[in-house]
Structure 1
Amino acid sequence: MNNSINPNIQDLQLYLDIATEAVCSAGAILKSYWGKIKESDRNEKRPGDLVTIADKEAEAQVLAVIKRHFPDHSILAEESGAGGKTESKFLWAIDPLDGTTNFSHSYPFSAVSVGLLIDGIPSVGAIYDPFHDELFCGAIGLGATCDRKPIQVSTENELKHSLLVTGFAYDRTQTPDNNYAEFCHFTHITHGVRRGGAASVDLAYVACGRVDGYWERGLSIWDIAAGVVIVREAGGTVTAYDGGELDLKSGRILATNTHIHSEMITELAKVKPLQQTFPMSS
């Protein structure tokens, strides 16, 4: 593959095929560990941030697939960090098990997420939920699919009639910047807010119209790189909280069906942090 030219549709389809191979093969590993993770099998990288043997083996599988096909591409993986050739304009952002806490408790809301950034732009994404056997894919100009069938965002155009989804960062007990105030605010002015515990699946659900909007803070690039392109290709809008260009390194994201996007921006700007009524964990 010639990295000196912009990828065409055929290139993007190839990247998507490889991303799909990677998430599906890693998903098979997660299935093999399902219900078998014991307390002794999980560790905390940081307080509230778990890792298991399933994370590590699934990541090794994804890396093997990517490196076999694209040895000159850069890699940013949750467990092993940066790798590959740093000068490459291609960066694979890999979350081998998004929703580790869910997985370790046998709560079936997790996924493998593999996204490809080209010159910093989310361009290809594949998300596989092995517990519901759902594969979400998208690439610039190729549309978005669930199990290879086209998907679109919802048509709901009023925030008050919308169902939203969000999450809380692993360090929520150590920082007042924890999303609790926004959660309460949106819960009061919408049909409800769900908290799934896997950002990639949340974004996939926006893309296929199961929820109308999603916001979160404290995220990493590997959490959202795949989901961003899938939402956009399904007709959604993804920005910063204030509607500006999304900064993948900021940790904050707003993704909607487009119709309620401006309302969510307005409401997010209204929210003030909750007065601290309980001590932060030390």
Structure 2
Amino acid sequence: MRGVIDDRTATGDAEVATAAARAGADVVRAKYGGHLARMDKGGGDFATDADVEAEEAIVGVIRAARPADALLGEEGGQRGAAGTERRWLVDPLCGTLNYAVGHMLVAVNVALRGGPAAVADPFTHEVFSTDGRTAWLRHEGADTPLVPTSATRLVDVNLDPPFPGAPAFRATDLLAHPTFVARFRPRVVSTTLALAWVAAGRRAAYVTDGGDLSENVHFAAGIALCRAAGCVVTGIDGRPVGRGARGLVAAADAATHEVLMSVIRSGG
């Protein structure tokens, strides 16, 4: 947990997360535009050989640096003892459908449960990282602090099914609400790269339905970034993420969060 990791360990874990995310991003970038073998997961979901190979590259970095740690991967599942305190959460290619049809909006997510994390953009070579206390962008050898702001007024919304909050909450209803329309401009990138953009000030907020996402491989790294950058992060029900909250509202500031919560509470 964050409270029992000393500064040196946290810094080291952040570097491991960054190196692992970069290793995955290298694979994703190298395989882009080529033939992709698809593995059906059911319900319209699928993985590609790029997902699998990127995860193996990430696992290789983590195994070399932290051989005793457990790991949960989107493609490979649980590795190591499931009950261990130190567990890495890995989504090697968030935005597989984007990637498979030739769009570059994807992310590589690596997070240590309750601590450091990294999100890599394979095509800009940017890596958004946190040691669990502060957050920064590493690009071309320089580290820049992440500073969230709602100035863009852009709110990214996850519209992918399933919709467990329906009929009380539907993201599509949110987009048509007069208050939302008056204050924000919606965006849908269909990858949790958008969460890193909230932490970096490129998005005012991100909203998704769902269950408890705190240890979800798709969301854990982005949540860690947003928290460390000082964003307001709750479920769509207003409860703290990780304490039974449903879904996710990550906002650059309290005012933006309150407006979004008022729209959600009113039924979208």
TM-score norm. by structure 2 comes to 0.87
- TM-aligned CA deviation for residue 253 of structure 1: 0.8
Query: Is 1:14 the counterpart of 2:18 in the alignment?
Result: no
Find 1:162's aligned residue among 153, 156, 163: 153
Find 1:196's aligned residue among 189, 199, 209: 189
Equivalent residue letter for 1:137: S
CA, structure 1 residues 191+141, in 2 after alignment: closer, same or farther (shift >3 Å)? Answer: closer
Match of 2:250, SS state, is: strand
Q: Separation in 2 of the partners of 1:124 and 1:50?
A: 28
Find 2:226's aligned residue among 214, 218, 231: 231
Q: Separation in 2 of the partners of 1:254 and 1:79?
A: 26
Q: How many residues align?
A: 257
Match of 2:227, SS state, is: helix
Q: Separation in 2 of the partners of 1:85 and 1:231?
A: 28
- TM-aligned CA deviation for residue 155 of structure 1: 4.9
- TM-aligned CA deviation for residue 190 of structure 1: 2.9
Equivalent residue letter for 1:58: A
CA, structure 1 residues 68+99, in 2 after alignment: closer, same or farther (shift >3 Å)? Answer: same
- TM-aligned CA deviation for residue 144 of structure 1: 2.9
The answer to whether the 8 Å contact 1:169/1:178 transfers is no
- TM-aligned CA deviation for residue 187 of structure 1: 5.4
Query: For the aligned residues, what is the CA RMSD?
Result: 2.4
1:140-179 per-residue CA deviation (whole Å, 9 max, x = no partner) reads 22333343211200054xxxx822001123446xx86753
Find 1:81's aligned residue among 77, 82, 102: 77
CA, structure 1 residues 248+104, in 2 after alignment: closer, same or farther (shift >3 Å)? Answer: farther
Find 2:66's aligned residue among 59, 67, 70: 70
1:221-246 per-residue CA deviation (whole Å, 9 max, x = no partner) reads 11111111111221211111132210
Q: Separation in 2 of the partners of 1:232 and 1:149?
A: 17
Once the two structures are superposed, the pairs formed by residues 18-33 of structure 1 within 5 Å of their partners are 18-33=16-31
CA, structure 1 residues 251+44, in 2 after alignment: closer, same or farther (shift >3 Å)? Answer: farther
Q: Separation in 2 of the partners of 1:71 and 1:46?
A: 33
Unaligned runs of 5+ in 1: 273-282
TM-score norm. by structure 1 comes to 0.83
Query: Is 1:144 the counterpart of 2:136 in the alignment?
Result: yes
Equivalent residue letter for 2:104: P
Between the aligned residues of both structures, percent identity stands at: 25
Match of 2:173, SS state, is: helix
Equivalent residue letter for 1:193: P
The answer to whether the 8 Å contact 1:166/1:195 transfers is yes
Match of 1:165, SS state, is: strand
Q: Separation in 2 of the partners of 1:198 and 1:190?
A: 23
Match of 1:44, SS state, is: strand
Deviates more, 1:41-50 or 1:29-38: 41-50
The answer to whether the 8 Å contact 1:217/1:251 transfers is yes
- TM-aligned CA deviation for residue 65 of structure 1: 1.3
Moved over 6 A (4+): none
The answer to whether the 8 Å contact 2:180/2:260 transfers is no
CA, structure 1 residues 248+65, in 2 after alignment: closer, same or farther (shift >3 Å)? Answer: farther
CA, structure 1 residues 35+211, in 2 after alignment: closer, same or farther (shift >3 Å)? Answer: same
Q: Separation in 1 of the partners of 2:260 and 2:104?
A: 29
